[in-house]
């Protein structure tokens, strides 16, 4: 089981390394979208500081949805996804490995880029720390839930927009508690409760989402 997980995970990372520009797209999207807000909302530092956590989260959410729609697409197109499922090895493990690879490729760079965002938006150091932890706990949830949507919409017309409509309602709890943690720090409270709930959400989705993804893949490949 671990071998299978590692094999699929490392394969996806290796494939991504061969298409570096494509792999950097989510981060580029994240930074570019976020940098539009000061132009749209106005450059007052007070306003921007207040907007920053929610903005970082929403941009992370959109970047994740943008990239996750490609999670199974190329494997589906060249038939390797079907081969993987035909091997009789656990489809749940394959789904989990692909979600983990997606997070490594899109979630981690976002977290690395978040301090830059904090600098641009003049975020407090404590609040920035809370934002980083909340993103660290929350972005895997986005990848796991996004994989369910990507598997459901595999090979459909207008799959990208459909994916947004399917997955965004499910990610709202993560968004609420992720931004709530930063708001709590700003208000001088402890963000511990929010982190605990984010952690619980992460455990819950880690246990259920790969199962749902595997089921959705079977439906899509029938």
Partner 1 sequence: MTERFRWFTFAAPARFHALAGRLIPWLWAAAAPLAAAGLYMGFFVAPTDAQQGESYRIIFIHVPAAWMSMVIYLAMAFWAAVGWMFNARMAFMLAHALAPTGALFTFLALWTGALWGKPAWGTWWVWDARLTSELILLFLYLGYIALVAAIDDVRRGDRAGALLAIVGAVNIPIIYFSVRWWNTLHQGATITMTAAPKMATTMLTAMLLMTFAFWAYTFAVVFMRARALVLERESHADWVRDLATRSRTREEQS
- Per residue, the 3-state secondary structure of 60-100, as one string, reads HHHHHHHHHCCCCHHHHHCCHHHHHHHCCCCHHHHHHHHHH
The reply to whether 220 sits near partner 1 by the rule CB under 8 A is yes
Return d(Cα 19, Cα 183) in angstroms, integer. 38
Residue closer to partner 1, measured from CB, 108 or 168: 168
CA separation (Å) from 154 to 4, 82, 158, 171?
22, 12, 10, 20
The reply to whether 16 sits near partner 1 by the rule CB under 8 A is no
Residue closer to partner 1, measured from CB, 109 or 180: 180
Binding mask 139-178 toward partner 1 (x if CB under 8 A, else -) reads ---------x---xx--xxxx--x--xx-xxx-xx--xx-
Torsion of CA 121, 125, 130, 132, to 10 degrees: 70
Return d(Cα 217, Cα 10) in angstroms, integer. 20
CB of 174 vs partner 1, minimal distance in Å: 9
Residue closer to partner 1, measured from CB, 113 or 209: 209
Binding positions for partner 1, rule: CB under 8 A: 148, 152-153, 156-159, 162, 165-166, 168-170, 172-173, 176-177, 180, 183-184, 187, 193, 197, 201, 208, 212, 215-216, 219-220, 222
């Amino acid at each position: 089981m671990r071998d299978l997980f590692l094999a699929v995970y490392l394969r996806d990372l290796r494939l991504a390394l061969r298409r570096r520009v494509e792999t950097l797209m989510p981060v580029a999207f994240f930074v570019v979208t976020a940098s539009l807000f000061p132009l749209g909302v106005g450059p007052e530092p007070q306003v921007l500081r207040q907007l920053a956590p929610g903005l970082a989260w929403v941009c992370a959410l959109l970047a994740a949805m943008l990239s996750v729609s490609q999670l199974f697409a190329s494997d589906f197109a060249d038939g390797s996804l079907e081969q993987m499922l035909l091997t009789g090895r656990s489809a749940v493990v394959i789904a989990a490995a692909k979600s983990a690879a997606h997070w490594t490729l899109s979630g981690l760079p976002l977290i690395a880029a978040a301090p830059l965002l904090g600098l641009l938006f003049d975020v407090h150091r404590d609040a920035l720390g809370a934002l980083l932890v909340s993103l660290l706990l929350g972005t895997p949830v986005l990848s796991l839930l996004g994989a369910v949507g990507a598997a459901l919409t595999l090979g459909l017309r207008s799959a990208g927009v459909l994916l947004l409509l399917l997955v965004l309602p499910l990610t709202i709890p993560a968004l609420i508690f992720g931004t709530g943690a930063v708001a709590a720090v700003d208000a001088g409270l402890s963000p511990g409760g929010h982190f605990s709930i984010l952690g619980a959400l992460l455990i819950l989705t880690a246990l259920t989402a790969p199962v749902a993804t595997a089921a959705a893949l079977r439906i899509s490949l029938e």
